[in-house]
């Protein structure tokens, strides 16, 4: 039974799925077919996208932020400049962590967990300290008072070796947890914002950022950039408009308000679901739009908003018949690696919508979905709701790695993107560059890095061979 918080509320879920030994048996059976799935996906991608140029998947060198062409009216785009020295320190810091983390620590960074409590407990501690969760989501079930939530998040961060991305769906309107639980004044919906000015929309994004950061929530899973193309679209008031130009402008203004105030933002829901009338929480919708319609409308907002350097993009669970009639977009190498990364050129963090939604769980277990998500090109996996479910997903990933269905280089690609995002927004402290003297610092940078390395190793004690 899913705990809902209003229309399209992504609440917690009490599930009874095969776990423990069953997970391991299914994982071993699954990996026998994963190689075939991967090869088939790559072949179909090559055929479907033969007129596009594939962009390299994150390599650890240079900036993961893509180069993209914005729409002709880009006055609403405000990208904070970052100097060469900043990027050099990001590169050095991320590469240092990648070189010193164990496989278990890396895999943990790829998990966005949810919790059932309102205070720090043993299960949360296990996911944060022993399984190395890289992110979490706040739902209404975690919220009692502003002070309680602030203290809960602070306790989690104090036990994490690498700070977590703490996320919430704070769009406004029907998806406004801070407003719904009277933590802050309600925010207008996307539909209401689009009836006003871009300035008001950007100010609303800035307001959301400040309210969330006061509680310790550093990531907003917003804005929705889907374009309404049917009158009874399931997202209804969550949509900014009926055409990609309007949606791009207003979603871009809201995103600017978030990110210029230090809040990580997330475009959703790739590949664009403004045409669906069924809810992926309950079933697997099919998008029947032509490739031309997808390119000109559904993909257009994502393509234009890459110029804003969004922190993340969320992929959700729909069948896109024109590109991949068999796999949900979340699990589709064609839709993620092929179109989003290869064709649009996005090389940042891709997160999944919750993998226990019925659109996925009607066919796949959480461990199976985790493996297929990584093969598809996703970086951050949402769906683990306790230590047991997270351990099952991790076991499946280990089995896939042992079989060769997923390589450790592929894991490094995702962790590279996640750590770069954390460094960009100040969650991951930047290490000083070797042989560089910083004004006002009497300590040699190399010595500082050595000290940090000792501390890192002291914190990260883990047997990589453990089951």
Residue 85 lies in a domain: yes
pLDDT exceeds 50 at position 34: no
- Answer whether residue 48 shows pLDDT above 80: no
Taking CA atoms, 401 is separated from 81, 206, 407, 409, in Å, by 38, 42, 6, 10
Structure tokens belonging to residue 322: 């024109």
Query: What pLDDT digit, counting tens, does each position of 275-317 carry?
Result: 999 999 999 999 999 999 999 999 999 999 999 999 999 999 9
Q: Is residue 440 included in any domain, yes or no?
A: yes
Would residue 12 count as lying in a domain?
no
Asked if residue 294 and residue 348 are part of one domain, the reply reads yes
User: Are residues 324 and 451 located together in one domain of the fold?
Assistant: no
Once rounded to an integer, what is the mean pLDDT over residues 86-92?
Answer: 94
Give the tokens for residue 276.
């669906």
Least confident of 65-69, 135-139, 435-439: 65-69
* Residues 162, 166: Cα–Cα separation, whole Å: 12
| 82: confidence class by pLDDT, cuts 50, 70, 90 | low
- pLDDT of res. 437: 60
pLDDT reported for residue 76: 36
pTM: 0.80
Query: What per-residue confidence (pLDDT) applies to 25?
Result: 43
Which residues does 215 contact at the CB level (< 8 Å), separation at least 6?
146, 149, 150, 153, 183
Number of domains in the chain: 2
Residue 27 contacts residue 399 (beta carbons within 8 Å): yes
Q: Which domain holds residue 54?
A: 33-427
Q: Whole-angstrom Cα distance, residue 324 to residue 13?
A: 29
CA distances from 139 to 118, 279, 356 (A): 10, 19, 15
Residues 390 and 446 in one domain: no
- Whether 379 and 436 share a structural domain: no
Q: Are residues 383 and 448 in the same domain?
A: no
Mean pLDDT estimate for the chain: 83
- Identify whether residues 164 and 203 lie together within a single domain: yes
Residue 400: its pLDDT value, please? 98
Q: Residue 218: pLDDT above 60?
A: yes
Which of 4-8, 174-178, 437-441 is least confident? 4-8
Q: How far apart are CA 35 and CA 320, in angstroms?
A: 22
Structural tokens at position 231:
């009158």
The reply to whether 27 falls in a domain is no
Task: Give the β-pairing of 170-172 and 175-176.
Answer: antiparallel
pLDDT tens profile 313-358: 999 999 999 999 999 999 999 999 999 999 999 999 999 999 999 9
Q: Picking from 28-37, 381-390, 457-466, which range would have the lowest pLDDT averaged per residue? A: 457-466
Burial category of 347 from C-beta neighbours within 10 Å (exposed 0-12, middle 13-18, buried 19 and up)? buried
Domain match, 53 and 136 both: yes
* CA R_g for the chain: 21
For the record, the structure tokens of 262 come out as: 């230090």
Q: Give the CATH number of the domain where residue 100 resides.
A: 3.20.20.300
Q: How confident is the model at residue 47 (pLDDT cuts 50, 70, 90)?
A: very low
Share of the chain above pLDDT 90, in %: 75
Q: What is the predicted pLDDT for the residue at 459? A: 39
Rounded Cα gap, residues 104 and 394, in angstroms:
8
Same domain, 359 and 444: no
Please tell me the total number of residues recorded for the chain in this structure: 467
In a domain, 66, yes or no: yes
For residue 45, pLDDT over 80 is answered with: no
More confident residue, 359 or 444: 359
Report yes or no on 57 lying in a domain.
yes
Question: For residue 310, what are the CA distances in angstroms to 94, 302, 355, 385?
Answer: 19, 10, 22, 26
If DSSP states are collapsed to H, E and C, what string results for the chain? CECCCCCCCCCCECCCCCCCHHHHHHHHHHHHHHHHHHHHHHHHHHHHCCCCCCCCCCCCCCCCCCCCCCCCCCCCCCCCCCCHHHHHHHHHHHHHHHHHCCHHHHHHHCEEEECCCCCCCHHHHHHHHHCCCCEEECCHHHCCCHHHHHHHHHHHHHHCCCCCEEEECEEECCEEHHHHCCCCCCCCCHHHHCCCCHHHHHHHHHHHHHHHHHHCCCEECCCECCCCCCCCCCCHHHCCCCCHHHHHHHHHHHHHHHHCCCCEEEEEEECCCCCCCCCCCCCCCEECCCHHHHHHHHCHHHHHHHHHCCCEEEECCCEECCCECCCCHHHCCHHHHHHHHHHCCCCCEEEECCCCCHHHHCCCCHHHHHHHHHHHCCCEEECCCCHHHHHHHHHHHHHHHHHCCCCHHHHHHHHHHHHHHHHHCCCCCCCCCCCCCCCCCCCCHHHHHHHHHHHHHHHCCCCCCCC
CA distances (Å), origin 320, targets 229, 317, 451 = 15, 10, 51
Residues 408 and 324 in one domain: yes
Is residue 102 included in any domain, yes or no?
yes
Residue 332 lies in a domain: yes
Mean per-residue pLDDT for 372-387?
A: 98
User: Tens digit of pLDDT for each residue in 396-440?
Assistant: 999 999 999 999 999 999 999 999 999 999 999 999 998 776 555
Looking at the fold, whether 205 and 282 belong to one and the same domain comes out as yes
Q: Are residues 313 and 454 in the same domain?
A: no
Q: Give the mean pLDDT of 388-394.
A: 98
Residue 384 and residue 437 in one domain: no
Q: Residue 385: pLDDT above 80? A: yes
């Amino acid at each position: 039974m899913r705990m809902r918080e209003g229309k399209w509320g992504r609440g917690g879920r009490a599930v009874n799925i095969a776990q423990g030994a069953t997970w391991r048996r299914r994982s071993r059976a699954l990996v026998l077919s994963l190689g075939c799935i991967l090869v088939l996906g790559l072949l179909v991608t090559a055929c479907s996208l033969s007129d596009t140029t594939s962009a390299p998947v994150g390599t650890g060198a240079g900036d993961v932020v893509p180069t993209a062409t914005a729409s002709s009216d880009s006055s609403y785009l405000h990208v904070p400049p970052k100097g060469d020295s900043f990027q050099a320190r990001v590169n050095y810091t991320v590469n240092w962590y990648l070189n010193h983390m164990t496989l278990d620590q890396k895999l943990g960074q790829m998990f966005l967990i949810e919790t059932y409590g309102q205070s720090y407990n043993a299960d949360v501690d296990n996911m944060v300290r022993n399984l190395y969760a890289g992110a979490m989501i706040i739902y209404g079930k975690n919220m009692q008072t502003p002070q309680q939530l602030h203290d809960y998040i602070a306790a989690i961060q104090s036990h994490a070796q690498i700070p977590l991305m703490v996320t919430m769906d704070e769009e406004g309107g029907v998806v406004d947890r801070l407003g719904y639980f009277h933590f802050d004044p309600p925010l207008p919906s996307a539909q209401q914002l689009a009836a006003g000015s871009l300035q008001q929309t950007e100010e609303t994004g800035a307001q959301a950022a400040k309210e969330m950061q006061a509680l310790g929530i550093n990531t907003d899973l917003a804005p929705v950039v889907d374009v309404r193309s049917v009158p009874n679209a399931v997202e209804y008031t969550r949509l900014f408009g009926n055409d990609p130009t309007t949606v791009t402008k207003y979603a871009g203004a809201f995103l600017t308000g978030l990110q210029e105030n230090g809040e990580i933002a997330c475009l959703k829901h790739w590949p664009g679901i403004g045409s669906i009338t069924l809810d992926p929480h309950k079933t697997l919708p099919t998008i029947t739009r032509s490739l031309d319609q997808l390119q000109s409308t559904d993909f257009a907002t994502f393509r234009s908003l890459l110029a804003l350097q969004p922190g993340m993009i969320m992929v959700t669970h729909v069948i896109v018949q024109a590109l991949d009639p068999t796999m949900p977009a979340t699990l589709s190498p064609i839709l993620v690696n092929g179109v989003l990364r290869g064709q649009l050129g996005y090389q940042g963090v891709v997160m999944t919508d919750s993998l226990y939604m019925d659109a996925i769980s009607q066919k796949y277990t959480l461990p199976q979905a985790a493996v297929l998500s990584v093969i598809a090109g996703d970086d951050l996996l949402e769906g683990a709701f306790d230590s047991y479910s997270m351990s099952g997903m991790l076991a499946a990933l280990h089995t896939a790695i042992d079989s060769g269905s997923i390589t450790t280089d592929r894991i490094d690609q995702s962790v590279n993107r996640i750590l770069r995002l954390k460094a960009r927004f100040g969650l991951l402290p930047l290490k000083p560059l070797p042989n560089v003297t910083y004004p006002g610092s009497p300590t040699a940078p190399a010595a500082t890095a050595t000290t940090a390395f000792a501390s890192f190793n002291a914190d990260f004690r883990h047997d990589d061979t453990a089951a």
